[in-house]
A = this chain, B = another copy of it.
């Protein structure tokens, strides 16, 4: 259905939470408790985010995670890239793969354009914008105004 994975969704919530905490370190347990993401899942996500360089980790007692950069410099595109790999609408956008079977593959350029447009849209939103529902302005004409779902398990 052309959606981001649940893990990416959870990961975003976690990042938003870390953004709210500022520079203070948060253990994985803290994050899980506050965001209502299952602990093992939160641990997994924090590991991935750390490897991607979006959060920094401190080991040992009193250790924990915090954002590696200010929230205004982290974009949705980076988050998606970190959690589910580079955006690639069509299959061959990433790998060479066995295409061009007799050059009958007429679809191509346009999907690349769409892909780029999506990337642009993602790059345009930063973490601090994800923090809170829009400041009453922006684009108020949305039909399905429900808030993002999130379930415990």
For window 1-55 of A, CB contacts with B under 8 Å fall at 1-4, 6, 9, 12-13, 16, 20, 34-36
Could you tell me the distance between the alpha carbons of A74 and B133 in the complex, rounded to whole angstroms?
A: 33
Q: Are A4 and B4 in contact (CB under 8 A)?
A: no
Kindly identify which residue among B87, B145, B149 contacts A97, using a CB–CB cutoff of 8 Å: B149
A111 to chain B, nearest CB (A): 6
By a CB distance below 8 angstroms, the chain B residues around A6 are 91
Q: Are A112 and B16 in contact (CB under 8 A)?
A: no
- Give the most central of A9, A121, A134, A148: most B CB within 10 Å: A148
Q: How many copies does the complex hold?
A: 2
Q: Are B2 and A89 in contact (CB under 8 A)?
A: yes
By a CB distance below 8 angstroms, the chain B residues around A87 are 1-3
A109-B134, A110-B130, A145-B112 as given contacts; A9 in contact with B91, CB under 8 Å: yes
Q: Are A125 and B113 in contact (CB under 8 A)?
A: yes
Q: Are A101 and B139 in contact (CB under 8 A)?
A: no
List the interface of chain A (C-beta within 8 A of B).
1-4, 6, 9, 12-13, 16, 20, 34-36, 76, 80, 84-101, 104-114, 116-118, 120-122, 124-125, 129-134, 138-139, 142, 144-152
Q: In the A-B complex, list the 3 residue pairs whose CB atoms are closest, starting with the nearest.
A: A92-B149, A117-B121, A109-B134
